[in-house]
């Protein structure tokens, strides 16, 4: 009887081992490495497959190479899968030399071993070495060819990638085509990338993601949103976290808050609502679209937060001028045991810039090296130059630039040049402009800033000289424009815009505002008209700036009490900053205005920047007794390298692509801090 039961016991034990291995594999598939380790430890009798499953988990976690090596050494009889997986671990941790040694010592190799080497070497930048390995392969398959095409495409060598693509024996693989699409998107050749995408015999989710992300990367965010709609509605492809992250970034670049809200509502109905990447992208989208209170609520409801999520929220506070709250959140992040990275210190220094916390910024710059061992990068040095310039320490800023251990980034000289207008320092202005033009003779910003400084000093001959330089060097000035979203339509305005269909009503509203503003004590700052014309013409030109046109259009197009959100591709004009404060008081509206560096929240005649922005960016002091009796300081800031999207020429009205899901009307958000603290993410997205 006992003999008869032994086969059944053997089967039961085999099933138990299989179930234990399956538990490890399932945890690895779901990204739960700690759960995989726990399941592995609790497995009484481990097979080689059990070890291989946990090794695969380490291969997905860069930085766990030592654990992977230790586990591999414990395998009683490692097979070729064990060696292949350890190869992946070496490449995932950036140890290409270790991978080479392991590959050379392998007792047996299969095609997957060779493919792992080809792919790993290609991704690590050693494409020519990968080619040598590829040519030495005894047997090749489609994965081998895909790895080589992808390697050349990632390196930017698209002519060679084209050649390998044509020679590939199998052309039905979506991975092969996607490598070409991604490669062309990476080098900015959107047209060629779309040609490959449209010619693809088979598309998968990765293919769609490559085009959506490529569109966003190449400043075609509106096309990215349209493609996303096609992907969901017509192709019936279910997006993943990567898709939604790219789409939400596109919403941020377009300032398409309405579309972003509906993406959020859709996420709430999917398992992706708890995804860390999607949650972080939503927080970032709300911050960049001017809805800080909703970002705060979402951040507070996140079940887990990594350093990227913390950075997004700290950056949001910094962009909206709440530097103290940004620093408080930074301290809280450290208290919760999250280690800051180099990006954290960039956003903290940015918060210091926007609120004038010079001493704290210097402490952070020094502390990142002493306490965290983070070597300052060019971004940190540029922030420090900005901080010193805003504090009026121009000589120290120049010394700081000269002491940099590497070539200063143009943004450092751009910041110095803008500060020179504030402090009327022509010597440093000419130094900074000269450096910028030397690095990039086509840098329109340098010429324009220098001409502006000469204009403020009434040195019109020098202004003419700079403009001649621009003409001789065929330098084209980047046109400034502002835009506002009304009922899903983006309306764009240029200065002195004459093509908007409601231009008559806009000018009529501006005329009414001008009279009320004059009664409130507003005096136009003529220093922001950089043309040698009479004062009457200067006043007219100021009232037709793109920011004012967008504000007036928003006022006549929305119900009383609704918040206006306006965006500009360049710095906000100092006079427009002044005017927006007065208009917010006259109309009893909150006006949120974003430029290339920050958001300005205008309420009741005051701005959230407390006019520190004005101190840093420069024009004369304008006393306005009608607005709280306080004096205003309104100046321009230097443009930053922020990837804003040029939506359309000013004579068009652009539609934001409609959301791909069912129509879900959404209430406008109230940005009041007191109300916001009591809301949840469900209330943010509550349908009418």
Closest CA to 386 of 533, 596, 603: 596
User: Element (H or E) spanning 632, and its range?
Assistant: strand 631-633
Question: What is the total count of domains within the chain?
Answer: 2
pLDDT band at 260 (very low <50, low <70, confident <90, very high): very high
Pick the range with the lowest mean pLDDT from 102-106, 427-431, 494-498, 577-581: 494-498
Q: Is residue 85 part of a domain?
A: yes
603-613 pLDDT tens trace:
998 888 776 65
Q: Is residue 405 part of a domain?
A: no
- Report whether pLDDT(544) > 50: yes
- Report whether pLDDT(620) > 50: no
Buried b (16+ CB within 10 A) or exposed e, 242-281: bbbbbbbbbbbbbbbbbbbbbbbbbbeeeebbebbbbbbb
- Report whether pLDDT(637) > 80: no
Q: Is residue 203 part of a domain?
A: no
pLDDT at 180: 96
- Report whether pLDDT(138) > 80: yes
pLDDT at 534: 59
pLDDT at 542: 77
Rounded Cα gap, residues 201 and 212, in angstroms: 18
Average pLDDT, the chain: 82
Query: How much is the pTM?
Result: 0.76
The C-alpha R_g of the chain, in whole angstroms, comes to 29
Q: Is residue 586 part of a domain?
A: yes
- Mean pLDDT, to the nearest integer, of 491-500? 86
- Report whether pLDDT(675) > 60: no
Q: Is the CA virtual torsion 571, 576, 582, 583 positive or negative?
A: negative
Closest CA to 175 of 202, 198, 212, 156: 202
The burial of 15, by beta-carbon neighbours within 10 Å (0-12 exposed, 13-18 middle, 19 or more buried), is given as exposed
Q: Are strands 591-594 and 564-568 parallel, antiparallel or unpaired?
A: parallel
Q: Is residue 343 part of a domain?
A: no
452-480 pLDDT tens trace:
888 877 888 888 888 888 888 877 777 88
- Mean pLDDT, to the nearest integer, of 9-30? 65
Buried b (16+ CB within 10 A) or exposed e, 394-421: beebbebbeebeeebbbbbbbbbbbbbb
Q: Is residue 193 part of a domain?
A: no
- Report whether pLDDT(5) > 80: no
- Report whether pLDDT(15) > 50: no
Q: Is residue 114 part of a domain?
A: no
Residue 592, strand partner residues: 565, 601
Question: Which residue is it, tokens 């032994």?
Answer: 6
Helices 205-217 and 190-199 meet at what angle, rounded to 10?
160
- Containing domain of residue 15, as a range? 1-108
194-240 pLDDT tens trace:
999 999 999 999 999 999 999 999 989 989 999 999 999 888 898 99
Q: Is residue 30 part of a domain?
A: yes
């Amino acid at each position: 009887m006992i003999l008869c039961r032994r086969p059944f016991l053997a089967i039961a034990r085999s099933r138990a081992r299989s179930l234990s291995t399956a538990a490890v594999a399932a945890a690895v598939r779901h990204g739960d490495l700690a759960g995989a380790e726990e399941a592995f430890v609790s497995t009484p009798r481990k097979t080689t497959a059990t070890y291989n499953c946990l090794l695969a988990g380490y291969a997905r976690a860069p930085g766990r190479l030592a654990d992977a090596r230790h586990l591999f050494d414990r395998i009683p009889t490692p097979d070729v899968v064990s060696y292949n997986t350890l190869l992946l671990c070496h490449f995932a941790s950036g140890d290409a030399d270790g991978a080479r040694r392991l590959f050379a010592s392998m007792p047996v190799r299969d095609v997957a071993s060779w493919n792992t080497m080809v792919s790993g070497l290609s991704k690590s930048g050693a494409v020519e070495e990968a080619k040598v390995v590829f040519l030495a392969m005894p047997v090749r398959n489609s994965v081998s060819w895909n790895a080589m095409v992808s390697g050349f495409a990632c390196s930017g060598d698209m002519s060679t990638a084209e050649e390998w693509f044509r020679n590939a024996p199998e052309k039905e693989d979506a991975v092969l085509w996607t490598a070409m699409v991604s490669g062309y998107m990476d080098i900015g050749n959107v047209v060629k990338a779309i040609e490959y995408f449209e010619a693809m015999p088979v598309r998968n989710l990765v293919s769609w993601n490559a085009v959506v992300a490529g569109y966003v990367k190449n400043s075609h965010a509106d096309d990215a949103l349209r493609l996303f709609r096609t992907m969901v509605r017509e192709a019936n492809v279910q997006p993943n976290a990567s898709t939604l992250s790219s789409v939400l970034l596109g919403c941020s670049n377009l300032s398409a808050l309405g579309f972003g809200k509906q993406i959020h509502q859709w996420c709430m109905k999917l398992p992706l609502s708890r995804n860390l990447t999607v949650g972080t992208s939503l927080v970032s989208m709300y911050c960049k679209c001017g809805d800080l209170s909703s970002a705060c609520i979402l951040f507070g409801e996140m079940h887990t937060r990594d350093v990227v999520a913390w950075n997004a929220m700290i950056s949001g506070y910094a962009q909206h001028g709440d530097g103290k709250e940004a620093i408080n959140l930074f301290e809280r992040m450290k208290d919760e045991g999250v280690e800051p990275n180099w990006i954290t210190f960039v956003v903290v220094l940015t918060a210091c810039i926007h609120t004038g916390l010079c001493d704290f910024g210097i402490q952070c710059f020094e502390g990142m090296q002493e306490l965290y061992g983070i070597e300052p990068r060019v971004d940190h040095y540029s922030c420090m130059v900005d901080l010193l310039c805003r504090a009026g320490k121009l000589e120290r800023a120049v010394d700081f630039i000269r002491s940099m251990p590497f070539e200063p980034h143009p943004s450092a000289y751009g910041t110095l040049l803008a500060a020179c207008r504030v402090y009327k320092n022509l010597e440093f202005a000419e130094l900074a402009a000269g450096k910028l033009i030397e690095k990039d003779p086509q840098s329109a910003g340098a010429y324009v800033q220098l001409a502006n400084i000469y204009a403020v000093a009434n040195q019109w001959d020098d202004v003419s000289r700079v403009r001649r330089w621009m003409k001789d060097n065929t330098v084209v000035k980047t046109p400034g424009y502002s835009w506002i979203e009304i009922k899903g339509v983006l309306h764009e305005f240029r200065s002195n815009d004459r093509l908007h269909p409601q231009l008559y009503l806009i000018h009529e509203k501006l005329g009414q505002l001008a009279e009320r503003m004059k009664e409130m004590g507003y005096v136009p700052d003529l220093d922001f008209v950089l043309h040698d014309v009479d004062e009457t013409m200067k006043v007219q030109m100021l009232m037709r700036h793109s920011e004012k046109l967008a504000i007036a259009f928003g006022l006549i197009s929305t119900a009383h009490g609704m918040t206006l959100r306006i965006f500009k591709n360049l710095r906000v004009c100092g006079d427009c900053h002044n005017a927006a404060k007065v208009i917010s008081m006259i109309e009893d509206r909150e006006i949120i205005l974003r430029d290339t560096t920050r958001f300005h929240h205008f309420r009741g005649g005051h701005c959230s920047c407390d006019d520190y922005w004005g101190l840093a960016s420069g024009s004369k002091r304008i006393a306005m007794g009608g607005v709280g009796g306080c004096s205003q300081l309104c100046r321009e800031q230097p443009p930053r390298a922020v990837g804003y999207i040029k939506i359309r020429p000013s004579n068009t009205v652009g539609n934001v692509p409609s959301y791909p899901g069912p129509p879900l009307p959404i209430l406008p958000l109230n940005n009041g801090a007191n109300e916001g603290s009591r809301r949840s993410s469900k209330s943010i997205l509550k349908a009418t």
